[in-house]
Amino acid sequence: MHKAEELAQDFHPNDHHLLLGIHLGSFLVKNLRITNKSNKQKGERICKTLDDKIRHLRLQLLEEFKSELLEVQMDKIRAIPKEN
């Protein structure tokens, strides 16, 4: 996650969907129960770094799936409910 955090700060693609992919991966790490505290914090920082750049894409995703935690089941993308 350390390297991912460094790279995310310097990555400025024209297509912000690529940033959304990085954000979703970091969001997953941040929310996994098996992830250590350090990686959760790094995932949180990456999400905050990218938040302003992809806000419009996140809103579209939330509107469609009602969650940012997604998985593929039987060739379909499904939302995973977030636990508090």
Q: Residue 74 has what pLDDT? A: 83
Q: Taking the CB of residue 30, how many other CB atoms lie within 10 A of it? A: 20
Cut 0.95: pTM above it: no
Per-residue pLDDT reduced to its tens digit, 16-47 = 999 999 999 999 899 888 889 999 999 999 99
| Average pLDDT taken over every residue of the chain | 88
* Token pair for 76: 């379909």
How far apart are alpha carbons 82 and 20 in whole angstroms? 18
Within 10 angstroms of residue 29's Cβ, the number of other Cβ atoms is 20
Confidence of residue 52 (pLDDT cuts 50, 70, 90): very high
